[in-house]
Amino acid sequence: MKPARIVFPIVTVLALAACGGNSQQTQPAIPSMPAYPDGKPPKSEAKTEKRDKDEPEVATGNTLTEFQKRRLLGHYSTRDGASGFILDRTGTPFLAKLDGVEKVVELSESGGPYNTKEYRSGDKSIWIRVDEGGRVLLFQGPKQINGVDVVRDADANRLR
């Protein structure tokens, strides 16, 4: 037999099976329901005067966009959950606040190894290393004697 004769029946059978073939089963009709019972979208889906969710945010150069805020402002936790802090890089100098402490500290900048920057509080309670792309690499606080990995786990409000 030639391979072409074998392939054609197999392809035909597979195509019929995928399309339903000669199946006698019928799908039950799904009743159509209105998108919104009262004809109006819920308030959470309604357009706002500021910006619709579907519209892209436009940078003005005068204020930070939501994307910029998420990159520059957030809450971080050590991987073991022992420490957490808010890092606010929306202004100069950068600010930080440890979880459970009301004091907001200013961070001074210095050069670090491998094109990184290090930020330290004046009271030495916080040390942070950031790569040249802005990613927080290491953190050292009152519960850590060596720099440890952290993860950004939440948005945060500006510290000042």
Of 39 and 136, the structure prediction assigns the larger pLDDT to: 136
How many CB atoms lie under 10 A from the CB of residue 117?
15
Return the CATH number of 71-154, one of 1.10.3470, 2.160.20, 3.40.5, 2.40.128: 2.40.128
Q: Map out the domains of the chain as residue ranges.
A: 71-154
Residue 129: per-residue pLDDT: 97
Split at pLDDT 50, 70, 90, the class of 20 is low
In this structure, the number of other CB atoms found within 10 A of the CB of residue 97 comes to 20
Q: What angle do CA 20, 22, 26 make, to 5 degrees?
A: 65
pLDDT above 70: percentage of residues in the chain:
68
- The per-residue pLDDT for range 121-146, each reduced to its tens digit, is 999 999 999 999 999 999 999 999 89
Rounded-to-integer distance, Cα 1 and Cα 99, Å: 76
